Amino acid sequence: MIDAAGLRVMRAIADEGSFTGAAVSLGYSQPAVSQMVRRLEQRSGTVLVERIGRNVRLTEAGQVLARYAVSVLASLDAAEEEVAAIAGLRSGRVRLMAFPSSSATLVPRALSLVKKRFPDITVTFSEGEPPESLAALHSGDCDLAVAFAYEGGDIGRGEDLDLFVSTKLLDDEVRLAVPRDHPLAAAGDADLADFAQESWIAGCPRCRGHLLSLSRQAGFVPKVSFETEDYIAVLGLVSEGLGVALVPDLILAAAHNPDVATLSLKPASRRAIHAVTTEDLQRVPAVKATLEALCESARAHTARHTPVSV
Amino acid sequence: MIDAAGLRVMRAIADEGSFTGAAVSLGYSQPAVSQMVRRLEQRSGTVLVERIGRNVRLTEAGQVLARYAVSVLASLDAAEEEVAAIAGLRSGRVRLMAFPSSSATLVPRALSLVKKRFPDITVTFSEGEPPESLAALHSGDCDLAVAFAYEGGDIGRGEDLDLFVSTKLLDDEVRLAVPRDHPLAAAGDADLADFAQESWIAGCPRCRGHLLSLSRQAGFVPKVSFETEDYIAVLGLVSEGLGVALVPDLILAAAHNPDVATLSLKPASRRAIHAVTTEDLQRVPAVKATLEALCESARAHTARHTPVSV
DNA sequence: CACCTGGATAACACGAGGTTATAGAGTGGG
DNA sequence: CCCACTCTATAACCTCGTGTTATCCAGGTG
């Protein structure tokens, strides 16, 4: 029944002391103010301004409206400003969820970029493997997820296609990590079948699945002697000669171990790293900015590690 | 840019958790909510709700609006209620100004009536003669004035006609007050000329003017030996045989002095008592109620004192 | 796999709220 | 004392915000 426009008019009249003055201060024409007052009066069923001679004065009811107008309009402006701040990247929050090993370089560099460009955006970060991160995205506990998929596999379940929007960040080459003194460490490439008799160290469940898949293609079943999700530990185990392991390039870039040699797989294998969000969240400025920062961070990685290929 | 309707919708969505629910709670159709959100989004340049699957959730910006909506809408409702209270006579203030002798009966009874009917209306009262009271009305310091005019004279200056609205309350008969033992005290009527040699006691400036006017018509110039605005004093002076005086019926009804006799003037003279206000103020419920109470109070007086005449 | 529920979209209607043009009234100066 | 200036009111009109209904489309579910 009573709206912001009406209050604005009442306040302008209170401030200016005349309809004409109010109209000028609002950027309206004088009749606009005149009939706005009339509308308000017939809606509220009370006289709001007292026309005496050629100047106007607010009645008691009019003063009530003018008084409320101050606080209401201030709140309205504040709300508008807060929203504008979010739209203008001067405020905002992004809840990022990424799989553990992405925290090594990709994510930190992206967060740093965001921080540098938009100091008032707060990005909260938590670790999570694709199944959980997508669930969080779905349930609204997360705005942006960094996930990976080995070739041929999906990121999550089938819901990827239409529920989410994913942008590929980079292709992460999977390499074979062997002890530096391994007989085949000098060869540039490695045929997985040559390592059928080795002890294997497996990473996360999905990485282990990938290892099994690749070795099946190579015609053997790997002896998995260790399992750990911590790639630093994997490299440590490898360096001590306790086994060999498939390690993504992204990890090797962040954690180099001098006692470990890495070989390219002969049938190359890579995992695709995606940033996943929803159609709507993608258009939230802070999310968009973070996404772009992730892309740049990924580009920086790609440029450094595969400067010629692709 | 952002208005109450928009906030109302955002809050409803926050409360209900769905567009359809919000629409129901607002009495709208579902598409109305849907496009209101879209409008808000393109105005603010930000996504406000996240459509995930078939349920919606507010984004950070949306939550900001919903949060502000609570306080803004509460203020708006409060403002509306205050105005409604003024319109519904559950609140309000009337600044009444009346000439001194009207305070005797007319005004107190009216105030009592208002108080009884609308206990929450506060009527402030101050004394003032027509020149001042009309000025106060003009300057906005007064809402309702009770003024009087002797026959032939105007209430104020010429401004009465179109600036103010005046409603006649009653005709106040002017009588001649003489000491009870005056030779002519027994006569029902009095010819002013018979009192040409008396000492006269004059009241307020305008009353004195009226006395002069009447006596000129009767062919004499009165000897004015006392002047006082206090009619109690006038009656006291008369009762002590110090002079005669013209006293309005309204005063005599309130302050009867057993030692004073009152005579009707043969060419009857009366003063008209009006309630004066402005066109706009007349429509303010509290003012209207007070005005009506004054009319009733005047009717009560008329009925008691001139039950047959007029 | 089909149904049901909830959101999006299209087409449309109406009224709020703005505009310009003009008339009327109060005030102040020549 | 009147005239001119200014401020408000009114009329006629236009546009667009904001509602409607009808219909479609997608997601979750038995």
pLDDT of residue A12: 96
Q: Where are the alpha helices (DSSP H) in chain B?
A: 4-16, 19-26, 30-44, 60-87, 106-117, 130-139, 160-163, 205-218, 231-239, 249-254, 285-305
Question: Encoding tokens for residue A241?
Answer: 């000669």
Q: Does the structure show a pLDDT above 90 at B263? A: no
Asked if B51 and A279 come within 8 Å (Cβ–Cβ), the reply is: yes
- Residues on chain B touching A76 (C-beta within 8 angstroms): 2, 68, 72
Return the number of CB contacts < 8 Å for A and B: 138
Q: Does the structure show a pLDDT above 50 at B279? A: yes
Average pLDDT over residues B270-293: 91
Q: Does the structure show a pLDDT above 70 at B7? A: yes
Question: Percent of chain B at pLDDT above 90?
Answer: 41
Least confident of A141-155, A198-212, A246-260: A141-155
Which nucleotide has the shortest C1'-to-CA distance from B51? Answer: C7
Least confident of A4-8, A181-185, B141-145, B168-172: A181-185
Q: Does the structure show a pLDDT above 90 at A60? A: yes
Most confident of A177-181, A202-206, B23-27, B233-237: B23-27
| Region of residue A184 (phi > 0: left; psi between -120 and 50: alpha; otherwise: beta) | alpha
pLDDT band at A113 (very low <50, low <70, confident <90, very high): very high
pLDDT of residue B262: 87
pLDDT of residue A301: 80
Q: Does the structure show a pLDDT above 70 at A96? A: yes
pLDDT of residue A212: 82
Q: Residue A29, CB, less than 7 Å from strand C? A: yes
Q: Which helix (H) or strand (E) holds A47?
A: none
Asked if B1 and A68 come within 8 Å (Cβ–Cβ), the reply is: no
pLDDT of residue B152: 61
Q: Which of residues 5-64 of B touch strand C (CB under 7 A)?
A: 18-21, 30-31, 34-35, 37-38, 51, 54-56
pLDDT of residue A203: 80
Q: How many residues does chain A have?
A: 310
Average pLDDT over residues A223-243: 86
Q: Does the structure show a pLDDT above 70 at B157? A: no
Question: Encoding tokens for residue B286?
Answer: 């509290």
Average pLDDT over residues A224-251: 86
Beta bridge partners of A170: A273
Show the domains of chain A with their CATH numbers. Answer: 4-87 (1.10.10.10), 93-305 (3.40.190.290)
pLDDT of residue B144: 92
Alpha-carbon span B224 to B208, nearest angstrom: 9
Asked if B3 and A2 come within 8 Å (Cβ–Cβ), the reply is: no
Average pLDDT over residues A265-293: 89
Residue tagged 């205050």 (tokens): B82
pLDDT band at A253 (very low <50, low <70, confident <90, very high): confident
Asked if A7 and B79 come within 8 Å (Cβ–Cβ), the reply is: yes
Q: How far is the CA of A95 from the C1' of D21 (A)?
A: 41
pLDDT of residue A154: 56
pLDDT of residue B161: 54
Q: What is the pLDDT of residues B35-45, one digit of tens each?
A: 999 999 999 99
pLDDT of residue A305: 65
Alpha-carbon span A84 to A90, nearest angstrom: 8
pLDDT band at A158 (very low <50, low <70, confident <90, very high): very low
- Residues on chain B touching A7 (C-beta within 8 angstroms): 79
Question: Encoding tokens for residue B166?
Answer: 């005046």
Q: Does the structure show a pLDDT above 90 at B305? A: no
Average pLDDT over residues A22-48: 95
Asked if B280 and A71 come within 8 Å (Cβ–Cβ), the reply is: no
pLDDT of residue B164: 83
pLDDT of residue B116: 95
Q: Which helix (H) or strand (E) holds A163?
A: helix A160-163
pLDDT of residue A159: 47
Alpha-carbon dihedral sign for residues A272, A148, A279, A88? negative
- Residues on chain B touching A3 (C-beta within 8 angstroms): 3-5
CA distance A69 to chain B (A): 9
Which nucleotide has the shortest C1'-to-CA distance from A29? Answer: C19
User: Beta A189-190 vs A260-265: how paired, if at all?
Assistant: parallel
Alpha-carbon span A38 to A32, nearest angstrom: 10
Q: What is the pLDDT of residues B31-72, one digit of tens each?
A: 999 999 999 999 999 999 998 877 899 999 999 999 999 999
Alpha-carbon span B245 to B202, nearest angstrom: 7
Q: Which helix (H) or strand (E) holds A210?
A: helix A205-218
pLDDT of residue B75: 96
Q: What is the mean pLDDT of chain B?
A: 86
Q: How far is the CA of B37 from the C1' of C9 (A)?
A: 14
Q: Does the structure show a pLDDT above 50 at A310? A: no
Q: Does the structure show a pLDDT above 70 at B186? A: yes
pLDDT of residue B154: 56
pLDDT band at B265 (very low <50, low <70, confident <90, very high): confident
Per-residue burial over B288-307, b = 16 or more CB atoms within 10 Å of its CB, e = otherwise: bbbbbbbbebbebbbeeeee
Beta bridge partners of A49: A58
B197 or B108: which carries more pLDDT confidence? B108
pLDDT of residue B127: 86
Q: How far is the CA of A128 from the C1' of D25 (A)?
A: 33
Question: Percent of chain A at pLDDT above 70?
Answer: 94
B44 touches B6 (CB < 8 A): no
Question: Percent of chain A at pLDDT above 90?
Answer: 41
